[in-house]
Amino acid sequence: MSLIVQKFGGTSVADAERLFNVAQIVTETAVEGNSVVVVVSAQGDTTDTLLAKAAEINPNGSKREMDVLLSTGEQASMALLALAIERTGFSVITLTGWQAGFKTDTAYGNARIEEIDCKRVQSELDRGNIVIIAGFQGINKYDDITTLGRGGSDTTAVAYAAALKADLCQIYTDVDGIYTTDPRLVANARKLSEISFDEMLELASLGAQVLHNRSVELAKKYNVNMEVLSSLHRVPGTKVKEASDVEKLLVKGIARDNDIARISIVGVPDEPGVAFRIFSLLAQKRINVDIILQSIGRDGSKDISFTIAHGNLGTTLDLLHTNAGMFNAKNITFDENISKVSIVGAGMATNPGVAAKMFEALYEAGINIQMISTSEIKISVLIQRSEAERAVSVIHDYFNLGTGGEKTV
């Protein structure tokens, strides 16, 4: 007998028909002789609706009350799912984050896990119950409700899979797995049968919005056997696991990120401490910087460019202009019509020439690269937004990703 954690996202539990479908998946898993822990998201766009309602009343409401409000979405959907499962005759019980021992820090709206106390969950499983846990929520040291940040239910599921030492953690969603790239952009995008935690982490943070990033970090840390699959089409999904037994393709996937803006600080003095002053200013305001490029100094001056999330553009420009005296720039410019296109693959760490091939694909398509950054298993380029979709598709073709990709040598 195995212990399986199954997480169902908002679209999978959106209405009565979908809830009955989920009830069927869960009870089939139980019939096969498994213990089942279910984690649910709020139905459909409930969380967005709750946010909109709150904004109508008080756009600057306290984070504590926002968490009280947002956590209700998951509670409603878990109770509805339990009602559907009750009709099948299986014994089922629901638990809120608090009842299920999900303890977090006090960062309302973006809480981090401190401890998972599985006593109650375990005793309900021992009694033969299917246990449904509300995703995305926990309780802090003041006994207040907290939430984990948008998309946080994935992290709830992986946390219980780790804490209960589950044999498998299935993330059911509205796509049937992880693809070589966004199938809406590239017609022959191919579903991957497996991907490593590291590759998934790069793709997730690069804007392939299938899994909550922290859920993958957690799965990697505790080596949780994870699978992403569709609740609507019952076909095998994508396994996310340790790199060792994962097929190492040169390039596994391509991501595009439009949530990005570039700032250039032109003509700063070519002397020590300039980069330090600029980036500590941003760090103090907790503004995350991604790609950084500094030109070689010439005639005593140099340029520094960097990218940030688009939502931080206004704040960052204000900050730089107000403190311009600190780094004596001649000019500050920005560009918000850009995208970041990245290729990810564990195989590239040990195989030269991957970057050259990506740049060749872009060159042949006449696409200009503005900035480049690399890590062991990732190469990102910054290009004009209007060319991003074409870039993804030509790179996808160049590496033959639609037909299986290129193995490492």
173 binds ligand ASP (CB under 6 A): no
Query: What is the closest distance, in whole angstroms, from the C-beta atom of residue 40 to ligand ASP in the complex?
Result: 9
63 binds ligand ASP (CB under 6 A): no
Beta bridge partners of 306: 263, 292
Query: What is the closest distance, in whole angstroms, from the C-beta atom of residue 10 to ligand ASP in the complex?
Result: 5
Judged by CB under 6 A, the chain residues 80 through 139 that form the site for ligand ASP are 135-136
Pick the closer one to Mg ion by CB: 120 or 150: 150
Pick the closer one to Mg ion by CB: 209 or 295: 209
Query: What is the closest distance, in whole angstroms, from the C-beta atom of residue 102 to ligand ASP in the complex?
Result: 13
- Residues with Cβ within 8 Å of 335's Cβ and at least 6 positions away in sequence, in order, are 261, 262, 264
Rounded distance, CA 94 to CA 131, Å?
6
Rounded distance, CA 318 to CA 314, Å?
6
260 binds ligand ASP (CB under 6 A): no
151 binds Mg ion (CB under 5 A): yes
306 binds ligand ASP (CB under 6 A): no
Contacts by residues 319-323 (CB-CB < 8 Å, ≥ 24 positions apart): 319/281, 319/282, 319/285, 319/287, 320/263, 320/265, 320/278, 320/281, 323/281
405 binds ligand ASP (CB under 6 A): no
Give the other-Cβ count within 10 Å of 264's Cβ.
Answer: 17
Rounded distance, CA 290 to CA 378, Å?
13
Pick the closer one to ligand ASP by CB: 10 or 177: 10
- Residues with Cβ within 8 Å of 371's Cβ and at least 6 positions away in sequence, in order, are 262, 291, 293, 305, 307, 381, 382
357 binds ligand ASP (CB under 6 A): no
Question: How many chain residues are in contact with Mg ion, going by CB under 5 A?
Answer: 2
Judged by CB under 6 A, the chain residues 9 through 28 that form the site for ligand ASP are 10
Stretch of 53-61, 118-126, 146-154, 322-330 contacting ligand ASP, by CB under 6 A: 146-154
The radius of gyration of the chain from alpha carbons, rounded to an integer in Å, stands at 23
DSSP string, 265-315: EEEEESSTTHHHHHHHHHHHTT--EEEEEEPPPBTTEEEEEEEE-GGGHHH
152 binds Mg ion (CB under 5 A): no
- Interacting partner of 152 out of ligand ASP, Mg ion, none (Cβ under 5 to 8 A depending on kind): ligand ASP
- Residues with Cβ within 8 Å of 353's Cβ and at least 6 positions away in sequence, in order, are none
Do residues 234 and 24 make contact, with C-beta atoms less than 8 angstroms apart?
no
255 binds ligand ASP (CB under 6 A): no
- The mark string for 3-32 relative to Mg ion (x by CB under 5 A, - otherwise) is ------x-----------------------
Query: What is the closest distance, in whole angstroms, from the C-beta atom of residue 9 to Mg ion in the complex?
Result: 5
Do residues 224 and 239 make contact, with C-beta atoms less than 8 angstroms apart?
no
342 binds ligand ASP (CB under 6 A): no
Stretch of 39-47, 101-109, 160-168, 312-320 contacting ligand ASP, by CB under 6 A: 39-47
Binding site for ligand ASP (CB under 6 A): 10, 41-42, 47, 73, 135-136, 150-153
